Structure 1
Amino acid sequence: MTAYTERAKASPLVEWLNDHAQVLSIALFFAVCMAFFGARSDTFLSTGNLLNILRQAAPVLIVAIAMTFVIVTAGIDLSVGSIVALVNALAAILMAQNIGWFTTIILMLVVGGLIGLVQGWFIAFQRIPAFIVTLAGMSILRGFALWITAGYSIPITDQPGFFWLGRGNLLGIPVPALIAILTAVAGLVCIQHTRYGRRVVATGSNLEAARRVGMPARWILCSVYALSGLACAVAGLLIAARLGSGSSNAAVGFEMQVIAAVVLGGTSLMGGRGSILGTVLGALTISIIGNGLILMHVSPFFTQIVTGIIILAAIWMNTRLFGSGFKLRKG
């Protein structure tokens, strides 16, 4: 009787561990990375370096939150890096033409959202695979950014309010980090506590079933790409504000970091399941690996190898362990 009672009492804990196994695994990996790089470099755990990591990780984290919604619907957005580059370049060009920075921000948010909405329309209503649509978008948008800049970097001058968004601090915390934190909180509340979030999950689980019960499933699918485009616009603006210039070569390889953060955080590539907290930890893990390797005087190009390995390992865990009914033994 005693043994049976103990197993019964342990069951809720086991169930909780099963439900949060992927988030716990990335949290453990994050802690191991922090400890490893902290032991290998005296400056890694310094306040200045940690704040610098948060500032640099903010654009990736913002887009990764939106990408979580996309992947929850069993989709993918390969065009995020190109959208960031286009917004980055357009913002610099507009401010060089004496358009105010606040007006530029509004225009760029509209541009980002519209790009995502157009791609979402092709995916949701024309039923073209997301991989194909966003792969084409990646090429078109990067090419357009190269065309309008002729491949040159466009400097941004005399815009202190705009620069504050990328370089400023508020209460000792970098402004980009605060924006990323607010984005993460909004994403968490949305996906867990709103009807829209529940519909996104339902659409990813079974789009046709969601449509048959009366959900606007195709509009929901379209909207997550608009959300992704909007997040890319924010990221592009933050990068331009931090660097003080716009360039068509910005955010090269950005989509790899974003997708790595999301899948590392436990969001299912098959749709229907995602974790905002896991995405946050995934994005921070990618950033601290890059920062830690630099402090250890390892070639920055090596981080691309590490990112690729992380993506492969995360997808393998996603599909072979957690995706095949992997569970902790009960009792």
Structure 2
Amino acid sequence: MKVLVTGAAGFIGFFVSQRLIADGHHVVGIDNMNHYYDVGLKHARLAQLEALPGFEFVELDLADRPAVATLFEQYQFNRVVHLAAQAGVRHSLKAPFEYVDSNFTGMMTILEGCRHHNIEHLVYASSSSVYGMNEAMPFSTSDNVDHPVSLYAASKKANELMAHSYSHLYGLPTTGLRFFTVYGPWGRPDMAYFLFAKAMLAGDPIKVFNFGKMKRDFTYIDDIVEGVVRVLNKVPAHNPDWHDGDPSSSKAPYKVYNIGNNNSVQLGEFISTLEKHLGVEANKQMMPIQPGDVEATAANIDDLVADVGFTPSTSIDKGLGEFVRWYKSYYG
């Protein structure tokens, strides 16, 4: 197939593109190469992708409506994996309009491209952040998610609603993936584990929010990629048995899944594991919880297991070990 991957120079997009190429697909990757974090890291990922036969790169901003329309017209994709977004919960408090351009307008241009070019399946990135004020855990896709606590979370919830409207109106098969705290080699430098490693190796203190009581369903990048690829091949169909108490599916060809490790880990344990692999003890600076953060996340992945037969299972110990090996190799 010919697959469009948006955000191809980003963390998840980089690995998904590699996997799709390895599976024999032709990948066209796009990215606007913005400066939210180190562009050098994005270029390094991109250099690896461009060395692979079966990959093309187009630098493009999804908010550029004519350019996106031309892209779809030129390449005639079979399927789309939409991973591009302005990431970061805390950054959304400082620069909200960046989220409007990337996450709202960007999703709109992709939906329009899919609508007008008979795309077989649109798979797009949502986030565990949509669960917001939900307290019952593990978080289930059957839960109501109408109380986000950040604009970033609201933008991801909006993407799910936008996708459903296009599935209903135009029969476009769409699947949203709520990712839970993705980590691993080549990751985003704004993520906690990346910041911790940098500070610990430099002998600087690390900021431990919510006094170390945060719990996250940390999910290793390989598990995320496996889930994305399996779901891409599981095109949603109309569900004639749908009832309005189930927000994860519809009478339209629409589906939403959680992809998480199904095992919440307290931040203190995560830091201890990172200390072990780095061989450095962290100087912890305890801090209160930050605006927009939630205390805990945990994924119910029953639908993912039932529909595509996949259970993420990489342990924190193995995943952080792989990250540290890459980090020391890349940064010397």
Higher helix share: 1
Which band: TM-score by shorter chain?
Answer: under 0.3
The structure with the largest strand share of the pair is 2
- Of structures 1 and 2, the one with the larger relative CO (CA 8 A, separation 6+) is 1
Q: Normalised by the size of structure 1, how large is the TM-score?
A: 0.27
